[in-house]
Chain A
Amino acid sequence: MADLVDSMLDLMRRLPPTRTEENVSALIGICPDYADDLLGSVDQPLQVKTDRLTGREYLACDYNRDGESYRSPWSNEYDPPLEDGTVPLPKLRKLEISANEAFDTYREMYFEGGVSSVYLWDLEDGGFAGVVLLKKTMTPATPQEPSGSWDSIHVFETAERGRQAHYKLTSTIMLQLITKKGSEGDNSDNEKKSNAGEKKGPENWKREGEVTLSGSMTRQTEQDWPIHDGSSHITNTGRMIEEMEIKMRNLLQEVYFGKTRDIVYDLRSVDDLEKTRRQRELQKELLGSFKR
């Protein structure tokens, strides 16, 4: 029998990304003993919470969770409050504060909105690890406007080797895009192509529809970077994460708008396939008659 966690992960890779949260909690209901494995390995949309002390928004995920509480990167406090919640050691907390400020700048430059959070934790072997979270949601003003959300989860581990540090980065981006369309009568959506040739008693038609593109992609990289001082870890992971997000954004664009569209055309052809087939037959015949 295949490993249980593998089966759960395979299942999550197949079920609709729009229903990840619901499905993860159903799986936990079936196998409560595996809750931690599942929560630790299935990326779920980040939740936005508000820091009670500073009023600033932060992101909640498995990495800043302790029991039922989440730690804010701004005040370092847990909500609901925990007396002995895990917090980074003072030195690492100092770096965490700087990292949060740096990635907040990064967020503003690339996302022009949204929320970011960075969490760091010490590793037993002396290095440390962290997660950089970014989230932006577009809420439509009217139902006809497209909506969407972007969630980045960059988990890294680092170990120092003299004046170098080795970084292992695993990045997941969850992207959801939804467009709703409705039209009655004419095709006012298609201003761009003047459908001059088509006349078709438009009042006889009514259409409405919804297109949802959703999913997640994960990539990994390992790199060595020089370190000059403590803050080098921020510039190093910053550059790695920036590079990774640029790469993954291209990849997402290719898969979301290229691959899935190509597959639709693999199912149905806009052009008449029979005509193409007949033309090919005709060409073959012609070619044959020349050869004779």
Chain B
Amino acid sequence: MDSRIEAACSFILQSPPGEINDVLNDVRNIISDDETLEEGLLPALKEYNLEQFITVDVPGTEHQSIISEAARLPASEDGQERWIDPRSKTSFVFNHLTLDASDPQPFEPDADAEEFRSALEKAALTYLLAHFHDGAASVFSKQGTQNQYILQIVANKYNPSNYWSGRWRSEYIIDLNENTVEGKILVNIHYYEQGNVQLSTKHKISITLPSAVVTSPPSNAASKILALIETEEGKYQTSLNDTYHEMSEKTFKGLRRALPMTRQKLDWDKVLGYKLGAELSSSKGTFST
């Protein structure tokens, strides 16, 4: 691959939340070869969208759906890639550059999985409303397997006029064969007023489901699973406070003191005096040449 395209793809994949268009504009200016770029960047844009749980307004629905690997349908014979919104049972075509969905068509879900999937979805949407200011959640039944479900949550806040943006992503793979939940929470914050400060967190969780949960009827089991996730995410969020405290008290203070041990600012005349003795003070005259 053209090394310029390779670099451009890497920049795209590093875009902070909500700033992909800014990064794209910068990259276009820097490379100034739109034709090569457009084609070359498409795989990176797609990877970014899938990784970042980019949301899309599915035509004919009132909600947002998540674009991710789990939402991808196996390629059809004509080679066109389609994505699903399990909530509205719709499949659609997605443009990774414009982020538009088109050509909605009814989608027939896996009948065996649908009862549990929709129970999880219902519980997840309740959870979403309870804890996220502005988020989207999707629940997929994992393609090609049985009794495995993928719950994804994403919440974004973009505030370019105050120079910050943030994204919370979580994903849980609920496996009713093994009775486990494998989850991860990823938070990215960008603050860029006269600077560039980024918070990036990664948190992995694995939970073994109590048998009482697994044997309950789907709607009960789903609420119990979401209750576990709610507890875990709440705990994680509060534990971040402890991490902040530790970083501020230990690492930050350990790197640089607020004031010297003397609790006073330096006496610069003394600093020079100690170090230089008579040498400099005797050499009068300034350094203008």
Q: Does A153 contact B (CB under 8 A)?
A: no
A266 to B165, CA, bound (A): 10
Q: Does B80 contact A (CB under 8 A)?
A: no
CB <8 Å contact, B203 and A217: no
A219 to B193, CA, bound (A): 11
Q: Total number of A-B contacts with CB less than 8 angstroms?
A: 314
CB <8 Å contact, B251 and A147: yes
Q: Mark A188-199, 1 if CB is under 8 A from B, else 0.
A: 011010000010
Q: Distance in Å from the Cβ of A127 to the closest Cβ of chain B?
A: 8
Select A230's contact among B31, B191, B269, B283, beta carbons within 8 Å. B283
Known A-B contacts: A217-B194, A263-B164. Give 19 more (CB < 8 A). A11-B11, A23-B14, A91-B287, A109-B266, A138-B254, A160-B288, A190-B242, A198-B231, A204-B210, A207-B203, A209-B236, A212-B201, A213-B198, A215-B197, A217-B195, A219-B194, A230-B280, A267-B156, A267-B157
Select A146's contact among B247, B258, B260, beta carbons within 8 Å. B247
Interface stretch of the complex, out of B19-27, B48-56, B217-225: B19-27
Select B166's contact among A17, A31, A190, A266, beta carbons within 8 Å. A266
Q: Does A1 contact B (CB under 8 A)?
A: yes
> A110-B260, A205-B207, A255-B195 are known contacts. Are A260 and B189 too (CB-CB below 8 A)?
yes
A210 to B242, CA, bound (A): 13
> A147-B251, A264-B240, A268-B132 are known contacts. Are A209 and B199 too (CB-CB below 8 A)?
no
List 5 interface pairs A-B (beta carbons < 8 Å), by A numbering: A4-B29, A10-B22, A15-B11, A111-B256, A273-B129
CB-based nearest B residue for A235: B268
CB <8 Å contact, A229 and B237: no
Select B255's contact among A16, A138, A232, beta carbons within 8 Å. A138
CB <8 Å contact, B271 and A238: yes
Q: Does B32 contact A (CB under 8 A)?
A: yes
CB-based nearest A residue for B29: A7
CB <8 Å contact, A267 and B166: yes
A residues within 8 A CB of B259?
110, 246
A112 to B200, CA, bound (A): 29
Q: Does A83 contact B (CB under 8 A)?
A: no
CB <8 Å contact, B287 and A101: no
> A205-B205, A246-B258 are known contacts. Are A1 and B29 too (CB-CB below 8 A)?
yes
A127 to B287, CA, bound (A): 8
Interface stretch of the complex, out of B2-10, B57-65, B66-74, B99-107: B2-10
Most chain B CB inside 10 Å of its own CB: which residue of A19, A91, A261? A261
A residues within 8 A CB of B255?
111, 136, 138, 148-150, 175
Tell me the chain A residues, 101-155 only, with Cβ under 8 Å from chain B: 101-102, 105-106, 109-112, 122, 126-128, 136, 138, 146-150
Q: Does A269 contact B (CB under 8 A)?
A: yes
Select B133's contact among A11, A252, A273, beta carbons within 8 Å. A273
A residues within 8 A CB of B11?
11, 15, 23, 26
Q: Distance in Å from the Cβ of A199 to the closest Cβ of chain B?
A: 11
CB <8 Å contact, B19 and A138: no
Q: Does A208 contact B (CB under 8 A)?
A: yes
Q: Does B95 contact A (CB under 8 A)?
A: no
CB <8 Å contact, A15 and B14: yes
A residues within 8 A CB of B246?
146, 179
Q: Does B167 contact A (CB under 8 A)?
A: yes
Q: Does A256 contact B (CB under 8 A)?
A: yes
Q: Distance in Å from the Cβ of A155 to the closest Cβ of chain B?
A: 16
CB <8 Å contact, A213 and B199: yes
A residues within 8 A CB of B243?
179, 181, 211
> A148-B255, A210-B202 are known contacts. Are A27 and B7 too (CB-CB below 8 A)?
yes
Q: Distance in Å from the Cβ of A287 to the closest Cβ of chain B?
A: 24
CB-based nearest A residue for B22: A14
Most chain B CB inside 10 Å of its own CB: which residue of A8, A92, A102, A213? A213
A residues within 8 A CB of B240?
211, 261, 264
Q: Does B43 contact A (CB under 8 A)?
A: no
CB <8 Å contact, A216 and B196: yes
Select B132's contact among A128, A204, A269, beta carbons within 8 Å. A269
Q: Does B89 contact A (CB under 8 A)?
A: no
CB <8 Å contact, A98 and B196: no
A175 to B191, CA, bound (A): 14
A98 to B277, CA, bound (A): 11
A residues within 8 A CB of B19?
14
Q: Does A177 contact B (CB under 8 A)?
A: yes
CB <8 Å contact, A102 and B196: no
CB <8 Å contact, A160 and B251: no
CB <8 Å contact, B197 and A17: yes
CB <8 Å contact, A105 and B202: no
CB <8 Å contact, B30 and A8: yes
CB-based nearest B residue for A25: B7
CB <8 Å contact, A268 and B194: no
A residues within 8 A CB of B265?
242, 246
Q: Does B98 contact A (CB under 8 A)?
A: no
A257 to B240, CA, bound (A): 11
Q: Does A85 contact B (CB under 8 A)?
A: no
CB-based nearest A residue for B183: A207
Q: Distance in Å from the Cβ of B108 to the closest Cβ of chain A?
A: 33
CB <8 Å contact, A268 and B192: no
CB <8 Å contact, B14 and A19: yes
